[in-house]
Amino acid sequence: MRNVAIIGYGLTKFGKREGSLRDLAAEAGKSTLESIPNLDRSEIKGFFLTTTDGEPYVTASVAENLGLKPALSAKLENLCASGGMGITVAYGAVASGIVDVCMVLGVEKMSHLKIAPPMEWDFTRGGIMPPAVWGSMYAQKHMREFGTREEDLALVSVKNHRNSSMNPFAQFQKPVTIEEVMKSRPIVSPLKLYDCTAKTDGAAAVVLTNEELARKYTDSPVWITGTGQSSLGASFGNVNPQYTTWPAVANASRDAFRTSHTTPEDIDIAELHDAFTINEIIEYEDAGFVEKGKGGQFIREGQSEIGGKIPVNTNGGLIGAGHPIGATGVAQSIEVVQQLRGEAGKRQVGSAEVGFTLNLSASVSTASVIVYGRKQRSGYS
């Protein structure tokens, strides 16, 4: 199989946006095309739209709006992990040679929704349990079991808002203090407003190609060196019976490290799925960056800050940058690409060689991990 690189990207401002889903998609797509001046749009032979939008054939409308006439094309959905799964599918399509150049465009329009609409999935579980309820249970047990403090959760929010204040595309542009987080409106104890993601409109896109073509389009390709995924089911209780250990994250991370021939020590920058602040703390652990139970300490010691041991969510994460469901995983990849290329502006972590993204769905029942490098992978195991 061929090595595959990301050669360009574009995104919209995240937040409450006017215009339709198709308008947002067109904005991110156009910006992506402009990021690769040597690429003619006729060369884009794969096109995946990642979104939870239920409208059939919206992929074809978006492609048409962008002037694309791809070969392989489809909408791809895996709830909040749609973007990560979409990039992985595109990676397979390019690595196998089905297509040479492939765009993945994630998009979501949520600001018009009063609440996140209940899904049939909820009813198959016996009732509706808003995500913050899961988050609350995970947080309570982690606090009880490992001494994690409410202030540790708040520090994640403070860090991610500080990072998003340096990201011109982020939904939240203002830093918050630990006091502001601690005093923000209670949602489900111990989670407060600033511990949670908001509703976000937005779109983000990347273009992938193979090793024969990458240098034709850019001097700074960012290689996908490994991937891992795990889809353990659709039920909260069955999938994470211990609450504070997330097997999907551990499985996907292990496979991504194995296929990329890296270890957690090699990672210079990570984008984790901070749907709630507690997520980021548990993910430090289950991705393998710290021992189980040491996540609170990691954020307290500033290890996940820009300048720390492994800067995490330098774009602001889902809490600071926003969480436009189908676009989230794509935006995570874009942040890694920007950091590895030295294009991250005020958020730049210095010289980063290896990056990591973790994109999750639905009470951590599905995980998608991608590892990226400035250097090509030497072999595939």
Pairing verdict, β 101-108 and 202-210:
antiparallel
Beta-carbon count within 10 A of 293 CB: 17
Question: Cα separation of 157 and 266, whole Å?
Answer: 25
Given the complex with a copy of itself, which of 122 and 150 has the nearer CB atom?
A: 122
The yes or no reply on residue 380 touching a copy of itself (CB under 8 A) is yes
Which of 12, 35, 88, 163 forms a contact with a copy of itself (CB under 8 A)? 88
Phi, psi of 170 (to 5 degrees): -75, 150
- Give me the sign of the Cα torsion angle 336, 284, 310, 263: negative
Footprint on residues 300-339 left by a copy of itself (CB under 8 A): none
Given the complex with a copy of itself, which of 95 and 182 has the nearer CB atom?
A: 95
Which of 12, 52, 164, 262 forms a contact with a copy of itself (CB under 8 A)? 52
Angle of CA points 189, 123, 84, to nearest 5°: 75
The yes or no reply on residue 78 touching a copy of itself (CB under 8 A) is yes
CB 234 within 8 A of CB 362: yes
Which of 87, 93, 110, 352 forms a contact with a copy of itself (CB under 8 A)? 93
Catalytic annotation present for 323? yes
Catalytic annotation present for 80? yes
Question: Cα separation of 248 and 366, whole Å?
Answer: 6
Footprint on residues 215-234 left by a copy of itself (CB under 8 A): 227-234
Q: How far is the CB of 350 from a copy of itself (least distance, A)?
A: 32
The yes or no reply on residue 87 touching a copy of itself (CB under 8 A) is no
CB 209 within 8 A of CB 376: no
For residue 250 the two structure tokens come to 């551990």
For residue 62 the two structure tokens come to 């978006």
The yes or no reply on residue 74 touching a copy of itself (CB under 8 A) is yes
Which long-range contacts does 181-186 make (Cβ < 8 Å, 24+ apart)? Answer: 181/153, 181/154, 181/157, 182/150, 182/151, 182/154
**Which of the ranges 33-41, 74-82, 162-170, 306-314 carries the binding residues for a copy of itself, by CB under 8 A?**
74-82
- In the 8-state DSSP scheme, what is residue 372? E
Q: How far is the CB of 219 from a copy of itself (least distance, A)?
A: 26
CB 37 within 8 A of CB 74: no
Q: How far is the CB of 113 from a copy of itself (least distance, A)?
A: 13
The yes or no reply on residue 85 touching a copy of itself (CB under 8 A) is yes
Pairing verdict, β 366-373 and 222-231:
antiparallel
The yes or no reply on residue 366 touching a copy of itself (CB under 8 A) is yes
Q: Catalytic amino acids?
A: 80, 323
Residues found near a copy of itself in the complex (CB under 8 A): 1, 22, 47, 52-61, 63-64, 69-79, 82, 85-86, 88-89, 91-93, 95-98, 119-121, 124, 227-235, 251-252, 255, 361-362, 365-366, 380
